[in-house]
A and B are shown apart, each in its own frame.
Chain A
Amino acid sequence: EIVLTQSPDTLSLSPGERATMSCRASENVRISYLAWYQQKPGQAPRLLIYGASSRATGIPDRFSGSGSGTDFTLTISRLEPEDFAVYYCQQYGSSPLTFGPGTKVDI
């Protein structure tokens, strides 16, 4: 199975700053089949990005994804107060589907 590693574990930033986080796969994720989710405490995850770089419906353009192969990045260009959450990557290029351990963005 493909193991996903996310870094850093925690990003301590302020509103208005840029957040950049990484997701690294233990082997190539075929066709850039990688998604990003946002999860706030007590809530379900919300899809942000699929196909490594396509924003899901209703997701603001301050969220962007990039990468291919084994290295992927999620960038939040200017943090809004509601963006402080945990971000997970998920690969769907091979079975079983797997998730990374998450990066927490906090103030």
Chain B
Amino acid sequence: QVLLQESGPGLIKPSETLSLSCTVSSGSISGYYWSWIRQPPGKDLEWIGNIYYSGDTKFNPSLKSRVTLSVDTSKNQFSLNLSAVTSADTAVYYCARIIWGLYMDVWGKGTTVTVSS
């Protein structure tokens, strides 16, 4: 059973860049699409973007200008960078495996990120 684990700072300041990583264990990152999703407190789930193991990406247009996704197959990891954060970026961030870039069949437990000075 593939396991995903998010890691990164829990608190960052406004205007900084949020950086999160997701480590894939008990399975290979190769051959699959991977995704980031977030859930602000009391709000809906929001898809951020997908990355294929080869590096191809697709983004939510609402965040595209601020998002960078990368993958490191040697470490079985993929990462999210979100620039110029504001309090609206405070959320639980999930990484997930996304089947053919469509629906998420395995999720990480999520990591809470708070944007505050």
Contacts and interface: CB of A to CB of B under 8 A. Distances in A.
B47 A33 contact: no
Contacts of A95: 58
Interface of A: 33, 35, 37, 43-47, 50, 56-57, 88, 90, 92, 95-102
Interface of B: 44-47, 58, 60-62, 94, 96, 99, 101-105, 107-110
A102 B47 CA distance: 15
A80 to B, nearest CB: 21
A45 B45 contact: yes
Contacts, number: 50
B108 A96 contact: no
B45 A99 contact: yes
A41 to B, nearest CB: 12
B46 A99 contact: yes
B103 A47 contact: yes
Nearest to B100: A92
B105 A44 contact: no
Contacts of B108: 44
9 contacts: A45-B104, A50-B99, A57-B105, A90-B104, A92-B102, A92-B103, A96-B47, A96-B61, A100-B44
Contacts of A101: 44
Given A96-B61, A96-B62, A102 B44 contact: yes
